[in-house]
């Protein structure tokens, strides 16, 4: 899975992220209208139909670069050339750069880490910490690692570290077992009281999606969570021979994740 990282002006982030994703040849832009921002993948299985949405929230480049609009959908049918397409079961929310809404300079720099897999896209951003209201945010879009055989791609989900759609520890999923749309799943993980523990061992755990009447459905790919003690933002640690980048995400609004410390696989 390719991982990209760099630093750009916020006004250039959308195009940078878009170019990286398309360059992998894992996702295809199927939008009949550019502002639809719909990308499709058939997944690692080659048989899935995964639709994610990534849009710039500001095409006029005025000082309102507050977020990227991101989301998931069950289906997308392109319209006529130059006309908007039709989404089925579209779930969207902003990937925010600031803790509050307002007018911000679009030339302010933002660091980004972007993981692109055929099943999912993970975007992490760190707005210049010297700027008031800057935050660290992470968004997961796409399929989790599914624990059972599923006949469709409705396990596709959206999880966010800041300003998530609903309550804490909630991941939005396209459909549940009863085929009800736009469902809230709980994010579960083993709770560790402190790091490091005995033997100077650090603990990190997968993030699992579940419901009280369904059990566990799967886990987020390429992400682990850990206690926040004794870790450094942007540090690189090794877990079972895999390198992870440490992100201490901001406490802004609700978070889909069990902890603020998230580890992103970088190979």
Q: What percent of the chain has pLDDT over 90?
A: 74
Higher pLDDT, 145 or 241: 145
Intra-chain end-to-end CA distance of the chain, in Å: 8
- Dig out the tokens for 194 from the structure: 């402190």
- Do residues 70 and 18 make contact, with C-beta atoms less than 8 angstroms apart? no
Tell me the average pLDDT across 97-126: 92
Q: What is the band of 251 on the pLDDT scale with cuts at 50, 70, 90?
A: confident
Selection from 137, 136, 114 nearest residue 52 by Cα:
114
Higher pLDDT, 43 or 240: 43
pTM of the full predicted structure? 0.95
Least confident interval from 2-6, 28-32, 65-69, 187-191: 65-69
| pLDDT value, residue 97 | 92
199 CB burial (10 A radius; 0-12, 13-18, 19+): exposed
Residues 5-55: tens digit of each pLDDT = 999 999 899 999 999 999 999 999 999 999 999 999 999 999 999 999 999
Report d(CA 93, CA 180) in Å as an integer: 20
Query: Residue 228 pLDDT > 90, yes or no?
Result: no
| pLDDT value, residue 248 | 95
Q: Which residues contact 143 (CB under 8 A, 6 or more apart)?
A: 43, 48, 50, 119, 120, 153, 155, 156, 157, 218, 221
**Mean pLDDT over all residues of the chain?**
92
Report d(CA 267, CA 262) in Å as an integer: 15
- Do residues 78 and 145 make contact, with C-beta atoms less than 8 angstroms apart? no
| pLDDT value, residue 198 | 87
- Dig out the tokens for 249 from the structure: 């995400």
Report d(CA 125, CA 14) in Å as an integer: 12
The answer to whether the peptide bond before residue 196 is cis (omega within 30 degrees of 0) is: yes
Report d(CA 132, CA 98) in Å as an integer: 8
Report d(CA 118, CA 46) in Å as an integer: 9
Could you give the 3-state DSSP secondary structure of residue 21?
Answer: helix
Higher pLDDT, 56 or 30: 30
- Do residues 133 and 99 make contact, with C-beta atoms less than 8 angstroms apart? yes
At which residue do the structure tokens 């209208």 appear?
A: 33
């Amino acid at each position: 899975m390719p991982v990209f990282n760099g630093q750009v002006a916020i006004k250039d982030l959308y195009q940078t992220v878009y170019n990286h994703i398309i360059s992998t040849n894992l996702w295809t832009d199927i939008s009949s209208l550019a502002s639809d921002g719909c990308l499709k993948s058939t997944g690692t299985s080659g048989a899935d139909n995964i639709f994610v949405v990534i849009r710039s929230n500001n095409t006029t480049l005025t000082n309102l670069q507050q977020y990227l609009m991101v989301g998931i959908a069950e289906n997308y049918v392109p319209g006529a050339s130059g006309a908007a397409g039709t989404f089925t079961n579209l779930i969207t929310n902003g990937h925010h750069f600031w803790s509050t809404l307002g007018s911000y300079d679009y030339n302010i720099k933002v660091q980004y880490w972007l993981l692109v897999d055929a099943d999912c896209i993970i975007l992490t951003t760190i707005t210049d910490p010297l700027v008031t209201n800057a935050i660290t945010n992470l968004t997961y879009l796409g399929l989790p690692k599914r624990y059972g055989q599923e006949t469709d791609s409705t396990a596709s989900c959206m999880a966010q570290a800041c300003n998530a759609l609903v309550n804490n520890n909630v991941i939005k999923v396209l459909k549940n077992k009863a085929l009800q749309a736009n469902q809230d799943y709980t994010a579960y993980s083993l709770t560790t009281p402190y790091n490091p523990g005995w033997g100077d061992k650090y603990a990190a755990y997968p993030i699992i999606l579940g419901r009280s009447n369904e059990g566990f459905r799967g886990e987020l790919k390429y992400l682990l969570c850990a206690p926040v003690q004794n870790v450094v933002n942007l540090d690189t640690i090794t877990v079972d021979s895999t390198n992870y980048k440490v992100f201490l995400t901001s406490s802004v609004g609700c978070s889909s994740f069990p902890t603020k410390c998230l580890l992103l696989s970088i190979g």
